[in-house]
Structure 1
Amino acid sequence: MLNSAISIWEACLQYIKDNISEKSYFTWFQPIKAVKLQDKILTIQVPSKFYYEYLEENYIKIIKSALTKNLGKDAKLVYSIMMEKNQQSENSFTVNIPSSQKAQIKVQEVEAPLFIERGVKNPFIIPGLQKLKIDSQLNTNYTFDNFIEGDSNRLARSAGKQIAKRPGGTSFNPLFIYSSVGLGKTHLAHAIGLEVKRIQAEKTVLYVSMEKFCQQFQEATKSNNRNDFIHFYQMIDVLIVDDIHFISGKKGTQEVFFHIFNHLHQNGKQIILTSDKSPVDIQDVEQRLISRFKWGLSTEIQSPDYTTRLAILQQKMEFDGIALSEEVLDYIAKNIKTNIRELEGSLNSIIAQATFNKKEITLELVEKTLSNLITNSKKDITIEYIQNLVCDYFKVSIDALQSKTRKRDIVQARQLAMYFAKKYTNASLSSIGIQIGKRDHATVLHACKTVDNLFETDKLFKSYVDDLNKKLTSDI
C-alpha cells in the first residue's frame, strides 16, 4: 500500500514539477509525503493546516490533473495534517476531487475601514470601494540613511534592504527583528516601510504597534465590526507590527492575528514583526503562531560595539551642527554602552549643559555631565564578562566551557554561566546559547532549571552560586 502510494505520488510530483516554478515546487510540494493508497484514494501528509489551506487555494487544479492522469477520473485525495507539535491529527482533513470541501475566501465588497491614528478621528472610517489610501503611520525620521550599520545589526539591515526591493518576494517573510530596548529595531522597521513606499509607491504599507492593534480589535468587537477589521488588515501589502510580544495572553487577538497572518502570507504580502524577545522566548502564545513567526528570518540586533557607537555619535554631531573633539567622542563611546537611546540621550545632555551654561564642550564638562550615569552603571555586565568570571572561579578555560565535553565540572560551570547570563543581561535565551558554545535556547532553559534545583538541594553548589552572585553584584 505504502509503496504504491509513494510511486503514484512521485508520478504526480513529476507532472506538477513540469508545470510550476522550481521555487514553488520545492516550497509547497517537496515536504509532502504519500502515506496510503486505497481504492483510488490517495492520502498525503502535509506539515500543517496552513499547507492544506494554501494548496487548496492555489494548486488544487494542478493536483487534480495530476491525480486524474495517474489514477483516473475517480481519484480522490485525503490530507493527513500534522499538528503543530508534530503529532498527527486523528481526524484528517479530507477533500474529494474535483470539488473541494474548503470554503473559498472571497473579497467581500463592503466598505473597508481607513486607518487614521493621529488626531481625534475614529481610526475606522469608510473610504468606499476604491484602492486603499491610508496613513502608513511611518515616522519619516527613521530612514536607512540615518540607521548606522555595524556588526550588531548588519544581518537585520541587509535583510530589510532586500525586502524593500521585493516585499513578499524574498525568503525573509516574515522578518522577525528582536532586541533589547533602544537598539534600533523600531527604527529599522520604519526604514523598511519608507523604502518600500519610495521604490513602489503603489504598495499599501502600514505600521501599527501590537498594543494599538489589540485596542482596535477590542473596539471593533464591541461595535460588531470584527469582519471589517479583519478585511482591512488583509488588504495591506506590507504590514509592520511593532512589539508583537504584547500579544502574549490575549487569546482572541491571537486568533484573529493568526488568520490575518495566514491570508497575507498566502497572498505574497510582506509581514515585519519586532519584539524584545526571540519567537521561542515569547510566553503564553499559541504554538501555531510561534511557528509562523519562525517561517522567514528571525534576526537579533545586539548592543553596538565601540566602532558603531562612535559612528552614531558622529552622525548625530553632524545632524545637530556641533563640533566635538576626538577625545570627547572617544570618552562617550567607551563609557555609554547600553543602548543607542542612552547614547544619544547622553549627547543631548552634554549639549544642553554647554548651551545653558554657555560653556565649551570639553572633556571635563563631559565627565561631569555623565558622571552620575556612568557611576550608576559601573561595569557593563556582558555574557563575555560572565564567562570569564565563571572560568576564573572554576579554573577552566573558555574553550573548555564552550566545548561539547560532558565532564561534570565543566558542565556545571557552563550551566552557571548560562544561568547568570539570563539573570544579569537582557540577552535572549537563543543569544545566550549561541555565545556559550553555540547551544540552542532549550539547552539554556534546561541549564537555568538545573541551577535552580541544585541550589535548593546541594550545599556545595549553593556556595558556588552565592560566591559568583556576590562577585557579579559588586560590579553592578
Structure 2
Amino acid sequence: MSITAQSVWNNCLEFIKDNIQPQAYKTWFEPIKAVKLTDTSLSIQVPSKFFYEWLEEHYVKILKVSLTKELGETAKLVYIIKMENTYGNKQPFTEKIPSANRGALKSQDVDVPLNNKSPELRNPFVIPGIRNVKIESQLNPNYSFENFLEGDSNRLARSAGLAVANKPGGTSFNPLLIFGGVGLGKTHLAHAIGVDIKDKYPEKTVLYISAEKFTQQYIDAVKKNNRNDFIHFYQIIDVLIIDDVQFLSGKTGTQDVFFHIFNHLHQNGKQVILTSDKAPVDMQDIEQRLLSRFKWGLSAELQNPDFETRVSILKNKLYRDGVEMPDDIIDYVAKNIKSNVRELEGAIISLIAQSSFNKKEITIDLARVIVEKFVKNTKREVSIDYIQKVVSDYFQMDIDTLQSKTRKRHIVQARQLAMFFAKKFTKASLASIGSQIGKRDHATVLHACKTVDNLSSTDKQFRKYVEDISKKLSV
C-alpha cells in the first residue's frame, strides 16, 4: 500500500484525537487538509495565519510526536495558508510557512511570498508583537445573577439567561436577544450569563464585546488585509456576546462579516447572545437576512421595574454596600424614580454621599432634596422611535402616516417636527434621522429643522405645537 499525504495525516489525526479534548479536535484539526508528501516532509493546509499561530503555540508537541511516529526523526511539517482574497475576484493566494524550529519539528526553508515580513498575531484583543493567544473573556465578574434581582419586568429575560448559562448552544434560545431601554440591565444580564457559563464550563471560550468595538476591529482588519483572520478568530468562540447590536445599523460591511460569523457559530452549536435598545422589528438599517436570524431564537424584553422590584433593588444595593436606611426613605426613592435601574441606584448613592460628606442624618427631607435634584438634572435619553410616537399621538395620526410620502400640509409639518426634535434630543446623525423618519436624506432633515425654526418665530399656532411637544419629551 502506497503512503500518501492523506494516509499519513489520517494516522496522525487518530493519535491526536485520542490525546486532546473532542471540542479542541473539532475546532483545530478537522479543518486541516493534507496537501503533499515529499520524502519525510508533510504539507498541510490551514485556513488562516491565526490558525497556524495557534497550532504552533498550543499543539506543536503533539504534532511532533504524531508525525515522528509516521515519518521518523527527520519529519518536517510545512503549513500552507490558503485564504480567500476579499478584494476583487482574484484567485485565492497561499503562503507556505515551515513549522517553528523550537526543538520540535525541523523547519524547512520556504520563500514567503506575502508582503508582511513578520507575521502578526490575529487575535484582535492582543497588542501586535506580544505573543499571547489566550482569549480573555472581557467579562465583568461584578455583574452576576445574584445581584440581578428578578421581578415581573425582567422574569422572562432572566429565566432565559439562566437556561442558556446551564446549556449554552443547547437550548432553543439561540440567539438570545435581550432588548429594552437605557439603564434597565441589558449589559448586566449579558455579563451575568457569560460569567455563569465560565464558572460551569471553564473549557469554553466566552467573549463579550460591544458592537462598536467589533466594528472598529473589523475596520482595522480590512485596513491591514486581515479580514479572513478576523472572521476565523470569531468563528472559534463558543459563546459570543455582542452588546448594543443596534450599533451595526447602516454599517453594511460589518453586518456582512457578522452574518457569516453568526451562521458559522449557529450551525456549529455555539451560543450567540445579543443586546439591543429595541426589538428586531423596530431596528432600522439592519439587513433583512440578519434580522431574520435575530428572530431564530428568543427576543426577551427588559421593561421598567415595578415599585416592588425597585424597592428590592434598592435594599439589595444597600445590603451589598453595608448601609442601613429606613424603609420609608427607601419607599420614597422607589416611588419617585421610575425610569430605570441606573437612575435608581444613582439617586441612592447620591443620598448616601450627601449624608456622609455633610454629616447629615438621612431623613425624608434630605431624600426629597436629593431626588428632586437628581430627577431634574438627569437628562432623559429619548429615542427617535419615542419622538415619532409622541409627535404622532399629539397630531392624532399613526406613525405610518407620519412617515408616508404624502405632501398634505399637516402631515409634512408633523414629520418636520419629528425630525427637528430628533436632532435636538438625540445624538443621531442627520442621515440616520432621515433614514428612520420616512427614509429621507440628510438634506431633507436639515430643511425640516430650518423650517421649524422659521415657523416658530412667525406662526403663533406652530410655536404652540413646538412648546407642547417639547414639554412632553422633557417630562
| Same topology, TM > 0.5 | yes
Contact 2:168 2:197 in 1 (8 A): yes
Who wins on radius of gyration, i.e. which is larger?
Answer: 2
**1:246 positional shift:** 1.0
**1:376 positional shift:** 6.0
Q: How does 1:307-318 map to 2 (within 5 A)?
A: 307-318=308-319
What residue identity is the alignment partner of 1:155?
Answer: L
Question: Counterparts of 1:148 and 1:205 in 2: how far apart (Å)?
Answer: 23
Q: TM-score, normalised by structure 1?
A: 0.58
1:122 lines up with 2:64 in the alignment: no
Which position in structure 2 is the counterpart of 1:274? 275
Which position in structure 2 is the counterpart of 1:150? 151
SS in 1 for 2:52: coil
What residue identity is the alignment partner of 1:160?
Answer: G
What residue identity is the alignment partner of 1:228?
Answer: D
Q: How does 1:49-198 map to 2 (within 5 A)?
A: 109-112=51-54, 115=123, 117=125, 122=127, 133-198=134-199
Q: How does 1:331-370 map to 2 (within 5 A)?
A: 331-370=332-371
Question: Counterparts of 2:194 and 2:220 in 1: how far apart (Å)?
Answer: 26
Contact 2:124 2:230 in 1 (8 A): no
Contact 1:419 1:448 in 2 (8 A): no
**1:353 positional shift:** 0.4
Which position in structure 2 is the counterpart of 1:238? 239
Contact 2:122 2:229 in 1 (8 A): no
Q: How has the CA–CA distance of structure 1 residues 271 and 422 changed in structure 2, closer, same or farther, with 3 Å as cutoff?
A: farther
Structure 1 residue runs of 5 or longer lacking an equivalent are 1-104, 382-415, 425-442
* CA shift digits 1:53-107 (9 cap, x unpaired): xxxxxxxxxxxxxxxxxxxxxxxxxxxxxxxxxxxxxxxxxxxxxxxxxxxx986
What residue identity is the alignment partner of 1:419?
Answer: K
Which position in structure 2 is the counterpart of 1:473? 471
1:226 lines up with 2:227 in the alignment: yes
> Where in structure 1 do 4 or more consecutive aligned residues deviate above 3 Å?
105-109, 112-117, 123-128, 374-381, 416-419, 421-424, 447-455, 462-472
**1:174 positional shift:** 0.5
Q: TM-score, normalised by structure 2?
A: 0.59
For the aligned residue pairs, the C-alpha RMSD in angstroms reads 3.6
SS in 1 for 2:53: coil
Which position in structure 2 is the counterpart of 1:255? 256
Structure 2 residue runs of 5 or longer lacking an equivalent are 1-44, 55-120, 418-460
Q: How has the CA–CA distance of structure 1 residues 144 and 447 changed in structure 2, closer, same or farther, with 3 Å as cutoff?
A: farther
Question: Counterparts of 1:444 and 1:268 in 2: how far apart (Å)?
Answer: 42
Contact 2:46 2:52 in 1 (8 A): no
**1:335 positional shift:** 0.4
**1:233 positional shift:** 0.5
Contact 1:210 1:241 in 2 (8 A): yes
What residue identity is the alignment partner of 1:446?
Answer: D
Question: Counterparts of 1:378 and 1:243 in 2: how far apart (Å)?
Answer: 21
Question: Counterparts of 1:282 and 1:182 in 2: how far apart (Å)?
Answer: 19
Contact 1:193 1:205 in 2 (8 A): yes
1:419 lines up with 2:389 in the alignment: yes
**1:278 positional shift:** 1.4
SS in 2 for 1:241: strand
**1:369 positional shift:** 1.7
* CA shift digits 1:21-69 (9 cap, x unpaired): xxxxxxxxxxxxxxxxxxxxxxxxxxxxxxxxxxxxxxxxxxxxxxxxx
**1:445 positional shift:** 4.1
Contact 1:111 1:126 in 2 (8 A): no
Question: Counterparts of 2:321 and 2:175 in 1: how far apart (Å)?
Answer: 36
SS in 2 for 1:111: helix
Question: Counterparts of 2:218 and 2:376 in 1: how far apart (Å)?
Answer: 45
1:456 lines up with 2:410 in the alignment: yes
Question: Counterparts of 1:422 and 1:156 in 2: how far apart (Å)?
Answer: 30
**1:200 positional shift:** 1.1
